[in-house]
Amino acid sequence: MSNINKPEASLSQWDALMLESLKAHGWANEELINRVRAGDLPADDSKFQFDYTGLTAFAAENASSFEQAVNQGYQIKYNTIRGIHSWILVALRHEAELLLEPGHEAVVASLSESEARHLTSVLSFGWHLVLLNDGQATGGKASYRIEPIQR
């Protein structure tokens, strides 16, 4: 997975989570961009309770970067282990296992090849995916461990 091209746009982990929660509404990219700019966004009733005013402010201050993030993807500026776990839930709609043993912190998730590529493309520098199984017996999904490159 190391040969994945990283997008030029970068978002904070929280902005990325908010953007992914809005993408779940199924709006076309242009509609999503226009709604964020106008602040015409639904209340979030998820466990995250997103307040989209920060994303609206980011889109106003960084219009081209925001458009690029929506249209061409983004890289998260700085990931945390819990943030990666949350991103998998919000963006990919998968429950992942959060491992918090000191010195062995990681997230384990069952992902399709395209989901693994997508996750790899958004991860900040210093993180990688390690294939745990090839997915033959799990309907095309493989288990991955997402962990820091260095410990």
> pTM higher than 0.85, yes or no?
yes
Which residue, among 123, 132, 125, has the nearest Cα to 84 in the 3D structure?
123
Q: Are residues 107 and 142 in the same domain?
A: yes
Is the torsion defined by CA of 36, 37, 43, 44 positive or negative? positive
Q: What are phi and psi of 57, to 5 degrees?
A: -65, -45
Q: Are residues 92 and 123 in the same domain?
A: yes
CA 133 to chain CA centroid, nearest Å? 22
66 falls within a domain: yes
68 pLDDT higher than 60: yes
Q: Are residues 43 and 100 in the same domain?
A: no
Cα separation, 75 vs 7, in Å, equals: 6
Mean predicted lDDT score pLDDT of the chain: 93
pLDDT at 4: 65
Question: Average pLDDT, stretch 99-112?
Answer: 96
Q: What are phi and psi of 32, to 5 degrees?
A: -60, -45
Domain of 86 in residue numbering reads as 81-148
99 falls within a domain: yes
Q: Are residues 72 and 32 in the same domain?
A: yes
3 pLDDT higher than 60: no
151 pLDDT higher than 60: yes
Percentage of residues of the chain with pLDDT beyond 90 = 88
Q: Are residues 64 and 109 in the same domain?
A: no
17 falls within a domain: yes
At 30, the pLDDT band (50, 70, 90 cuts) reads: very high
5 falls within a domain: no
Q: Which helix (H) or strand (E) holds 55?
A: helix 53-61
Q: Are residues 109 and 124 in the same domain?
A: yes
135 pLDDT higher than 70: no
Q: Are residues 87 and 57 in the same domain?
A: no
pLDDT at 139: 74
Last residue of a domain, one of 76, 94, 113: 76
Q: Are residues 66 and 92 in the same domain?
A: no
136 falls within a domain: yes
> Which amino acid appears at position 72 of this protein?
Q
Distances (CA, A) of 80 to 84, 86, 102, 124, 140: 6, 10, 14, 9, 28
Instruction: Report the first-to-last Cα separation within the chain, whole angstroms.
Output: 20
122 falls within a domain: yes
Question: Average pLDDT, stretch 31-48?
Answer: 96
Q: How many domains does the chain divide into?
A: 2
